[in-house]
C-alpha cells in the first residue's frame, strides 16, 4: 500500500491530535481509558472528516479539468459545507442538492450549516424530497451546467466512493504512526458509520498497515445488515484502489444500529445525553446527527461491558458541530 502515488491536493498537512478523555473514562467507571482522534479539528470551514476525503476528490476533479462541483447531502450536511468550503478555496463554483429526509426540515433561512452555505456563496441549492434518487438529481444539475458551458464534477454524498475513502485509509496510517510515537496500544476503535467512506477507509487502512485494530461502526441511519453490506462493498473497492492485495473479510466490518432512533437526524435521548456529557466534562462539541449518536453508542457499549478486557479505546470524532446550532430547541428545552 503506497498512498504517495495517489493524487491529492494537500488539504491535510498535519496529523490531528489524539487526546485522552480522562473525565469521560472516570464517568464510565475507570475500567477502560477512552481516547479521541480529533478530526473535528481538520482544516476547512468549521472542520470535520470530509476534508480528508475531499483532498482526493478535488484532486481527481481538477485533473479532469472541472471548473464546477456538484454534490449532495441532507439539509444540514457537513459534507456539503466542506465541499463548498474547498470549492471556495479552489476558486470553483459549487452547486448543492439537498435531500429533505425529514419532511419540512429544510428552512431557507435556517441556522447551522444552512447559514454557512449562504455565507460562503453557494451558487445554487436544489431541495428534493426524501428518498429521491440523488445520483440522478445531481446529474440533472450537472447537465444544466454543461448546457451553460461549464465543466462540472459530481462528488457523491459524503464523498463516499473509493476515491474519497482513500482519505481515511490515510487517516488509519496516520493514526498507527501516532500510536507508535505515543507508545500507546489501542485495543478498539469506534467510528460513526453513515455514507460509509470513513468506516470503510479505516478498515482498509488498518488492514493495509497490518495494525488490525478492531473497528466498530455506530450507524446513524440504516439497519445493521444493510450498512455492513454497503461498508464492505466500499472496503473492497477502496482496497483495490490503494493496493491492499489480500481480500478483507466481511467480518472485519461490524456495525451497531441500536442508536439510530426513529431515523436519520432525528434526536434521541441517548444522543442528547452524550452531547451534554462531552460538552460538560471534556468541553468538546459533538454534532447531533453523526458524532453525537456515535458517542451515545460508545457510552452505552461501555456501560454494558462491550469493551471489557480493553485497556484503551479510541473514538474518531468526525466533526459537524455547526449543526448543533440548528438544534438549539432540542438542547435548551
Using one digit for the tens of pLDDT, what is the confidence trace for 53-68?
Answer: 999 999 999 999 999 9
Q: For residue 228, how far is the Cα from the chain centroid? A: 16
Total residues found in the chain within this entry: 333
Measured from the Cβ of residue 118, the count of other Cβ atoms closer than 10 Å reads: 13
Is residue 122 within 8 Å of 82, Cβ to Cβ?
A: no
Residue among 223, 198, 219, 224 nearest 294 (CA): 219
Cα separation, 196 vs 217, whole angstroms: 9
**Look-up of cell digits 447559514:** 115
Q: Which three cell numbers stand for residue 254?
A: 461490524
Model pLDDT, residue 102 = 87
Q: Is 329 exposed, middle or buried (0-12, 13-18, 19+ CB in 10 A)?
A: exposed
Q: Encode pLDDT of 167-225 as tens digits.
A: 999 999 999 999 999 999 999 999 999 999 999 999 999 999 999 899 999 999 999 99
Query: Between the CA of residue 303 and those of 125, 253, 299, what are the distances in Å?
Result: 42, 22, 6
Task: Sketch out the chain's domains with CATH numbers.
Answer: 3-48+161-332 (3.40.50.1100), 50-159 (3.40.50.1100)
Choice among 77, 195, 221, 321 that is catalytic? 77
**Residue 124 falls in the annotated catalytic set:** no
Specify the long-range contacts of residues 57-62, CB closer than 8 Å, at least 24 apart.
Answer: 57/155, 57/159, 57/163, 57/164, 58/9, 58/11, 58/86, 58/90, 59/7, 59/8, 59/9, 60/7, 60/153, 60/163, 61/92, 61/153, 61/155, 62/9, 62/90
> Are residues 18 and 35 in contact, defined by beta-carbon separation less than 8 angstroms?
yes
Task: Report the C-alpha gap between 81 and 115 in whole angstroms.
Answer: 10
Residue 57: which of 119, 114, 12, 107 has the closest Cα?
A: 12
Cβ neighbours of residue 318 closer than 8 Å, sequence gap 6 or more: 39, 40, 48, 49, 78, 191, 192, 198, 290, 291, 294
Contact predicate 7/16, CB 8 Å:
no
Pairing assessment for the beta strands 124-129 and 93-100 based on DSSP bridges: parallel
Dihedral (C-alpha) 41, 47, 49, 51: value to the nearest 10 degrees?
-110
Cα gap 191→193, rounded to integer Å = 6
pLDDT at 328: 93
- Residue-wise pLDDT for 9-54, tens only, equals 999 999 999 999 999 999 999 999 999 999 999 999 999 999 999 9
Identify the bridge partners of residue 129 per DSSP, sorted by sequence position.
Answer: 100
Q: Residue 333: is its pLDDT beyond 90?
A: no
Which residue carries 455506530 as its cell? 218
* Beta-carbon count within 10 A of 45 CB: 18
Q: What is the mean pLDDT of the chain?
A: 97
Contact 51, 11 (CB under 8 A): yes
pLDDT digits (tens, 9 = 90+) for 287-331: 999 999 999 999 999 999 999 999 999 999 999 999 999 999 999
Going by C-alpha positions, the residue among 163, 228, 176 that lies closest to residue 207 is 176
What is the mean predicted confidence (pLDDT) over 116-129?
A: 98
Amino acid at each position: 500500500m503506497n498512498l504517495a502515488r495517489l493524487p491529492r491536493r494537500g488539504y491535510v498537512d498535519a496529523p490531528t491530535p489524539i487526546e485522552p478523555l480522562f473525565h469521560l473514562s472516570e464517568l464510565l467507571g475507570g475500567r477502560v481509558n477512552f481516547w479521541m482522534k480529533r478530526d473535528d479539528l481538520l482544516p476547512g470551514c468549521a472542520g470535520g472528516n470530509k476534508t480528508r476525503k475531499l483532498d482526493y476528490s478535488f484532486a481527481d476533479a481538477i485533473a479532469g479539468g472541472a471548473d464546477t462541483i456538484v454534490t449532495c447531502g441532507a439539509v444540514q450536511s457537513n459534507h456539503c459545507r466542506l465541499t463548498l468550503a474547498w470549492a471556495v478555496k479552489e476558486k470553483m463554483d459549487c452547486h448543492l442538492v439537498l435531500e429533505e429526509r425529514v419532511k419540512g426540515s429544510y428552512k431557507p433561512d435556517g441556522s447551522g450549516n444552512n447559514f454557512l452555505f449562504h455565507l460562503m456563496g453557494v451558487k445554487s441549492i436544489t431541495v428534493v424530497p426524501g428518498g429521491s434518487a440523488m445520483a440522478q438529481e445531481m446529474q440533472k444539475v450537472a447537465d444544466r451546467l454543461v448546457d451553460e458551458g461549464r465543466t462540472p464534477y459530481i462528488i457523491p454524498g459524503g464523498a463516499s466512493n473509493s476515491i474519497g475513502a482513500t482519505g481515511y485509509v490515510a487517516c488509519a496510517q496516520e493514526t498507527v504512526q501516532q500510536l507508535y510515537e505515543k507508545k500507546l496500544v489501542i485495543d478498539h476503535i469506534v467510528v460513526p458509520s453513515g455514507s460509509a467512506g470513513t468506516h470503510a477507509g479505516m478498515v482498509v487502512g488498518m488492514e493495509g498497515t497490518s495494525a488490525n485494530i478492531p473497528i466498530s461502526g455506530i450507524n446513524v441511519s440504516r439497519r445493521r445488515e444493510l450498512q455492513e453490506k454497503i461498508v464492505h462493498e466500499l472496503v473492497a473497492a477502496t482496497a483495490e484502489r490503494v493496493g491492499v492485495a489480500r481480500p478483507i473479510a466481511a467480518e472485519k466490518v461490524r456495525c451497531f444500529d441500536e442508536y439510530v432512533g426513529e431515523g436519520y437526524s432525528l434526536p434521541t435521548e441517548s444522543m442528547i445525553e452524550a452531547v451534554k456529557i462531552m460538552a460538560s466534562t471534556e468541553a468538546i462539541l459533538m454534532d447531533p446527527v453523526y458524532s453525537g449518536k456515535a458517542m451515545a453508542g460508545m457510552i452505552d457499549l461501555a456501560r454494558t461491558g462491550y469493551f471489557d478486557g480493553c485497556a484503551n479505546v479510541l473514538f474518531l470524532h468526525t466533526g459537524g458541530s455547526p449543526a448543533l446550532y440548528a438544534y438549539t430547541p432540542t438542547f435548551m428545552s
